[in-house]
Amino acid sequence: MLIALPYIKRDTPIHRLDPRVKLLLLLAYGLAAAQTSNVWLILVGFVGSACYYALARLKWSETRRAWLFIIFLNVILVFGNYFLSGGAIVQGIDLSHQHQLFSLPFFGFLNHPPYVGPKPLIFSVESITYMLTMGLRNFSIAFLAVVIPYTTNPGQIGVAFKQLGLPDQFAYAIDLSFRFLPTLARDFSVTLDAQRARGFELDKLRGGIFGRIARLAPLVVPIVIGSVVGAEDIVNAMELRCFGVGRRTWLTELQTRPLDRLLMALIVALFVLVTALNILGNFYVSGPLHILHEQGLPAFLLR
Amino acid sequence: MVTHPDNTRDASQDAPPAVAVKGLSFRYRALDEESPPSKKTRIAVPDSSVAGAEAKPSYAIRDISFSLAHGELLLIAGPSGCGKSTLLKCLNGLIPHTFRGELSGEIWIEGRSAAGMSLRERARYIGTMLQDPEKQIVGSTVEQEIAFGLENLNVPRAEIRRRVDAVLQRLHLESFRQEATFALSGGQRQQVAAAGVLVMQPSIFLFDEPFANLDARAIDELEELINSLRAEGRAVIIVEHRVEETLKLRPDKVLLMRDGRQVFLGDVSSFLEMADPEQVKLPIEATLRRATEPRQVVERLVRPIVTRSAGAAEAHPAEPVLVFENVHYRYEADGEEILHGISFRVGRGETIALLGPNGAGKTTLVKQALGLLRPTAGTVLLYGEDTRKLSVAQLATRIGYVFQSPSAMLFAPTVQKELSFGPENLRFPPERLQRAVQRAAEALDVARFAERSPLSLSFGQQKRVSIASVLAMESRILLLDEPTAGQDYRSYISFMEHLRELPELDALLFITHDLDLALRYTQRVLLLKDGHLVADGAPLEVLADQTLLESCNLRPTSLLRYLLTECSRSLA
Amino acid sequence: MATTEKENLSEREVTSRVWGIGVRHIVYMALGAALYGIFSYFTNILQLPSAGNVSFRPAIVIPLFFGAVFGPWVGLFSGGVGNLLGDYISGYGVYWNWDVGNALIGFIAGLVIYFTWGVYRNSRSIVLAEVFAALGVIVGIGFASITEIWLSKLSFATAVVGYWLPAALSDLINGLILLPILLLAYRAAMVRFGR
């Protein structure tokens, strides 16, 4: 069993980006999107990140597993969130009242004993829009997140963290863990084969949940203990080649183009703008400065 | 260069020797149950075989002295536990830097006292190749690996590039620059690890058991490298118990160690006269020269294992226990074919060596018999039954496979539980389970550790526990992958002799690239190359074909050459 | 003499033993992260059997074990970078709040070496390791779940019922069962090397 890293070598604008730009964009966008539930703003973000994703030219066949997982998780969470809160999901938005469309009999949490009981599930224009906004937000973040492993050469991650200011030794440890991956994947399959040849069947473990976990020991113990004991030799090998004696050079150097710098500046500026708007919005009850605190629904829906 | 007054004793030479060691002794720090473990220091007994934290540690090495000039090669030989590795650590500075203990005596490196020299300073003079290149390689790509040491010394980028280029060129590795180190073959890995040391331009090279697990071509390349290092005036020290291979390099000096002491220091010819062939592997000529009756020696050496008594084998003479019929295999439907139509049958009582270079498909082949892989075409019959119809667990009661490294499978809190694991998975009834476990424990002589953790045992003991835990499933066919890897010559021989004593098996197969093992212990050799079975017959018949050996990357040993000349002499 | 050594440990030495970072620590950080990543990856790929709603995630024992044996920094790195690596090689992307949560798990589990020095010879030390491990899981998963309330605007109930309870419960069961097994195995292996 070999491990195939998701990185796909291709020449696209996203592949050429400095890995720090991609990380910064993901982080800044996530923190900015968390500051508003304005459906229009999130929609803009969604379209933008979808375009960004499209630029990476990733095929469905390459990313299928990741997307199936993300879709599954989001469906569960977004709908789960709706049902669990009985439809009262709108947060962080200045609303006088909700425009209810209909309601269904359902169960929910009560604020008096027995705490769980029948409770109507409310559907309003606001709550449905809010649910949609949540989905859009999560998927727009996923677009930015999924791009990273498929378009970033793993060899550049350690150095990216180094240039983000992480000390030499920690940044090198990231590189080193990528070095260990294929070796451990091989150890994993050797141990699995060795135990299968002793009648161990991973898909037919006996016992209840506790027993079954304990019965993973034949797989987990040899791999972990074997590699921990073997690591002593790696420590020696690294010390003999002077690792950790002082500052080190990194042979690989990230090429930061003017475009990368411009993008980083833009990302930071946008993030600062959104945060400023969010703060200012607290002082204005309406108008363009209050935009982050509104859901942005057109009037005809709210009749 | 500063010449210390004490160092002028070697009057024959003007320049100071590359390395000089005087009265060197080392004792690892005493262990104490109560002592808090230090995160910075590691305390270890000299060699893994000496398990026993309880015993008061004695000197790992005692009173070692030698000196080595530039361009000279020193072979340090001796069985495991003799202190070879400790001596190496004293030279490269891991003692006292990482391993704490009492160190006395002097080490002079290029005329400078090593006392107080930091690892960084030592790295300018001494480069070390560890035993397992896989452990030595810390870079994900060849280029990263070679640059590692220079990066750590904060050498400017342009300078690193220049030096990496030069080393790549010198070792003809240019085309591998961006390759992943993981995907390299064993021989390439050794070369890349050497490149990573060479780039730091040390004047003294240490090699720790460099010939373990290399095929013929890789050994040739390594020899070429070592010779060129010497030609450039670098001093080379090789620690190895495979004396036979190292002697081809014509060492200038041999240092033989036993129990931490230096028993011999001198040239090769006087070494061969005094060395004990039971302790270290010598060329056959040296072994025979010491014997009064060479014929008897050969008879004692070459004694194939017979797994079944003659009477039992005659009961079903013709019925094969394992049959491969035109077996093909590929991992993926559109992938490359690994096995191209392999056919052979194994009869009762046979002991077989499955030989072949790395990557010939040996492991893929035996996995077909275990059901870990299923043939894409053709059939494998085990006692007349198609393995495709049986689960891996069902097959495990008939055929047992012992993986090369025992640490890949040992996990249980006690040896007893380790041995019961297989039989429990196979749902043996309690009485049968107990009987099977007991028999297996006795056969491999591990009953006395029954209540100890298998992880706390020495390598040789672990190897026996791993075989016992496969035997406990009462399989009658046993496959052993590289049974002798990781053991020194003495324990290798006693281990193989132990296998003779196993309770009755139907067949025994060794997967190996050790020709002497095939010659000495088996009745039949299957030779595999690029997924084809290229030869099948008695060991001496198959291995007599020089061109075949060469094409399979196997290197004739002195024993093989001797047996072949004996053969042709008796025929004439 | 060794006992007095322990008594004589100055405040500074204690601090350096718990918090100091040498080459060994760097290697174990990398190894722990790689192991956590690879186990998570195989859990994602092989779809290890699950019982009911609790997903099978034996990988969680890795940051707990590396923390308990090698200290808080190694635990922090194994957890954080390991989770990043697991998501990365599975192609799922990068979810920083879960990386921070997992880093917290390993970090808190690693604080136990203040009491055990990373040596697990008796049941008291193993119980202590379990307590810190449990604390780490509860806090770490709690952190990641709570951040989800703000980041993806979940209600508190959803964050608790949808993330915190199932993930923490699964991690607790897996981690607390496998941790002592690994600690005992590690102790046995160290006997071999005379440590």
> What CATH number did the domain enclosing B477 receive?
3.40.50.300
C-alpha–C-alpha distance, residues B448 and B462, integer Å:
13
Packing angle, helices B459-471 and B489-500, rounded to 10: 20
In this structure, is residue B549 part of a structural domain? Answer: no
Mean pLDDT of chain C: 81
Other C-beta atoms within 10 Å of C157: how many? 16
The residue among B486, B513, B222, B133 whose CA lies nearest residue B357 is B513
Under the banding of pLDDT at 50, 70 and 90, the label for residue B45 is very low
CATH number, domain with residue C114: 1.10.1760.20
The verdict on a CB contact (< 8 Å) between A213 and C56 is: yes
pLDDT over 70 (residue B43): no
Q: Which two tokens stand for residue B223?
A: 């020899």
Helix (H, G, I), strand (E, B) or coil at B152: helix
The verdict on a CB contact (< 8 Å) between B139 and A232 is: no
Same domain, B118 and B264: yes
- A6 and chain C in contact, CB less than 8 A: yes
pLDDT in the model for residue A1 = 54
pLDDT in the model for residue C61 = 92
The three-state DSSP-derived secondary structure of chain A is CCCCCCCCCCCCHHHHCCHHHHHHHHHHHHHHHCCCCCHHHHHHHHHHHHHHHHHCCCCHHHHHHHHHHHHHHHHHHHHHHHHHCCCCCCCCCCCCCCCEEEEEEEEEECCCCCCEEEEEEEEEHHHHHHHHHHHHHHHHHHHHHHHHHHHCCHHHHHHHHHHCCCCHHHHHHHHHHHHHHHHHHHHHHHHHHHHHCCCCCHHHCCCCHHHHHHCCHHHHHHHHHHHHHHHHHHHHHHHHCCCCCCCCCCCCCCCCCHHHHHHHHHHHHHHHHHHHHHHHHCCCCCCHHHHHHCCCCCHHHHC
pLDDT higher at A98 or B367: B367
Determine the average pLDDT of the residues in B327-355.
Answer: 85
Same domain, B266 and B339: no
Count of A–C CB contacts within 8 Å? Answer: 206
The verdict on a CB contact (< 8 Å) between A173 and C37 is: no
Residues in chain C: 195
C-alpha–C-alpha distance, residues B298 and B319, integer Å:
33
Determine the average pLDDT of the residues in A215-229.
Answer: 90
Its domain, for residue C149, covers 2-192
pLDDT in the model for residue A303 = 63
pLDDT in the model for residue B5 = 44
pLDDT over 80 (residue B226): yes
Under the banding of pLDDT at 50, 70 and 90, the label for residue A155 is confident
Q: Which two tokens stand for residue B52?
A: 């026993």
pLDDT in the model for residue B302 = 74
- A173 and chain C in contact, CB less than 8 A: yes
C-alpha–C-alpha distance, residues B291 and B300, integer Å:
12
The backbone torsions φ and ψ at residue B447, rounded to the nearest 5 degrees and listed phi first, read -60, -30
Ordered DSSP codes for B90-148: HHHTHHHHTB-EEEEEEEEETTEE-TT--HHHHHHHEEEE-S-HHHH---SBHHHHHHH
Determine the average pLDDT of the residues in B3-9.
Answer: 43
pLDDT tens-digit readout, A69-112: 888 888 888 888 888 777 777 776 766 677 777 777 777 777 77
pLDDT over 50 (residue B3): no
C-alpha–C-alpha distance, residues B366 and B481, integer Å:
10
Under the banding of pLDDT at 50, 70 and 90, the label for residue A2 is low
pLDDT tens-digit readout, B431-444: 888 888 888 888 88
Residues 40-79 of C with CB under 8 A from A: 41-42, 44, 46, 48-49, 51-52, 54, 56, 58, 61-62, 65, 77
Q: Which two tokens stand for residue A183?
A: 């070796």
Same domain, B399 and B523: yes
Closest residue in chain C to residue A243, using alpha carbons only? C23
Determine the average pLDDT of the residues in A25-47.
Answer: 86
pLDDT higher at A37 or C126: C126
Identify the residue whose tokens are 């160092």.
B7
pLDDT higher at B471 or B294: B471
Residues 435-454 of B with CB under 8 A from C: 453-454
Residues 81-100 of C with CB under 8 A from A: 81-82, 85, 87-96
The residue among C112, C19, C117, C14 whose CA lies nearest residue C64 is C112
Same domain, B334 and B246: no
Q: Which two tokens stand for residue B394?
A: 């069902």
C-alpha–C-alpha distance, residues A287 and A265, integer Å:
28
Helix (H, G, I), strand (E, B) or coil at B181: helix
CB-CB contact of B422 with B473 (8 Å) = yes
CB-CB contact of C140 with C79 (8 Å) = yes
All residues at 6 or more sequence positions from C55 whose CB lies less than 8 Å from its CB, including other chains: C43, C166, C170
Under the banding of pLDDT at 50, 70 and 90, the label for residue C6 is very low
Under the banding of pLDDT at 50, 70 and 90, the label for residue B308 is low
C-alpha–C-alpha distance, residues B198 and B129, integer Å:
10
The verdict on a CB contact (< 8 Å) between A243 and B473 is: no
Residue B228 identity (one-letter amino acid): S
| Domain total of chain C | 1
pLDDT tens-digit readout, B180-214: 888 888 788 888 888 888 888 888 999 888 887 77
All residues at 6 or more sequence positions from B541 whose CB lies less than 8 Å from its CB, including other chains: none
**A161 to chain B, closest Cα gap in Å:** 17
Closest residue in chain A to residue C151, using alpha carbons only? A34
Mean pLDDT of chain B: 80
The verdict on a CB contact (< 8 Å) between B456 and C195 is: no
The verdict on a CB contact (< 8 Å) between B36 and C9 is: yes
- Nearest Cβ partner for A89 among C46, C54, C155: C155
pLDDT over 80 (residue B52): no
Under the banding of pLDDT at 50, 70 and 90, the label for residue C9 is low
pLDDT over 70 (residue B138): yes
pLDDT in the model for residue B307 = 65
Determine the average pLDDT of the residues in B36-57.
Answer: 41
CB-CB contact of C191 with B53 (8 Å) = yes
Burial of A113 (0-12, 13-18, 19+ CB in 10 A): exposed
pLDDT in the model for residue B4 = 44
C-alpha–C-alpha distance, residues B467 and B480, integer Å:
8
Determine the average pLDDT of the residues in C162-189.
Answer: 87
pLDDT higher at C30 or B489: C30
Chain B residues near residue A221 by CB distance under 8 angstroms: 411
pLDDT in the model for residue B84 = 85
| C-alpha distance from residue A9 to each of A12, A151, A230, B437, C140 (Å) | 9, 7, 33, 53, 35
Residue A57 identity (one-letter amino acid): R
Determine the average pLDDT of the residues in C50-55.
Answer: 40
C-alpha–C-alpha distance, residues C102 and C100, integer Å:
5
Q: Edge-to-edge strand order for the sheet containing B337-346?
A: B337-346, B322-330, B377-382, B385-386
H or E element in which residue B381 lies = strand B377-382
In this structure, is residue B96 part of a structural domain? Answer: yes
C-alpha–C-alpha distance, residues B244 and B224, integer Å:
17
Out of A196-200, A201-205, B101-105, B234-238, give the one with best mean pLDDT. B234-238
The verdict on a CB contact (< 8 Å) between B53 and C195 is: yes
pLDDT in the model for residue B439 = 84
Percent of chain B with pLDDT strictly greater than 90? 1
Chain A residues near residue B425 by CB distance under 8 angstroms: 198-201
CB-CB contact of C130 with C176 (8 Å) = yes
pLDDT in the model for residue A227 = 92
C-alpha–C-alpha distance, residues B237 and B249, integer Å:
12
Chains in contact with B, where contact requires at least 3 CB pairs less than 8 Å apart: A, C
| Domain total of chain B | 2
pLDDT in the model for residue C103 = 94
Burial of A82 (0-12, 13-18, 19+ CB in 10 A): buried
C-alpha–C-alpha distance, residues C66 and C118, integer Å:
10
- Structure letter (DSSP) for residue B42: B
pLDDT over 50 (residue B11): no
pLDDT over 90 (residue C106): yes
Pairing between β-strand B235-239 and β-strand B73-77 as defined by DSSP bridges: parallel
pLDDT over 90 (residue B174): no
For residue B487, is it left (φ>0), alpha (ψ between -120 and 50) or beta? beta
First vs last Cα of chain C: how many Å apart? Answer: 17
Helix (H, G, I), strand (E, B) or coil at C125: helix
pLDDT in the model for residue B114 = 83
- Sign of the CA dihedral running B537, B538, B543, B545: negative
pLDDT in the model for residue B315 = 53
| C-alpha distance from residue A54 to each of A22, A40, A147 (Å) | 14, 21, 10
pLDDT higher at B414 or A303: B414
Q: Which two tokens stand for residue C44?
A: 């994602």
CB-CB contact of C85 with C36 (8 Å) = yes
C-alpha–C-alpha distance, residues C135 and C117, integer Å:
18
Ordered DSSP codes for C35-81: HHHHHHHHHHHHT---BTTB---GGGHHHHHHHHHH-HHHHHHHHHH
Same domain, B340 and B193: no
Determine the average pLDDT of the residues in C147-167.
Answer: 80
Its domain, for residue B379, covers 310-539
pLDDT tens-digit readout, A158-211: 888 888 888 888 888 998 998 898 889 888 889 988 988 888 887 777 777 787
CB-CB contact of A169 with C26 (8 Å) = yes
Determine the average pLDDT of the residues in B327-352.
Answer: 84
- C119 and chain B in contact, CB less than 8 A: yes
C-alpha–C-alpha distance, residues A84 and B361, integer Å:
57
H or E element in which residue C15 lies = helix C11-19
pLDDT in the model for residue C55 = 53
Chain B residues near residue C117 by CB distance under 8 angstroms: 36-37
The verdict on a CB contact (< 8 Å) between C34 and A181 is: yes
Q: Which two tokens stand for residue B390?
A: 């049986």
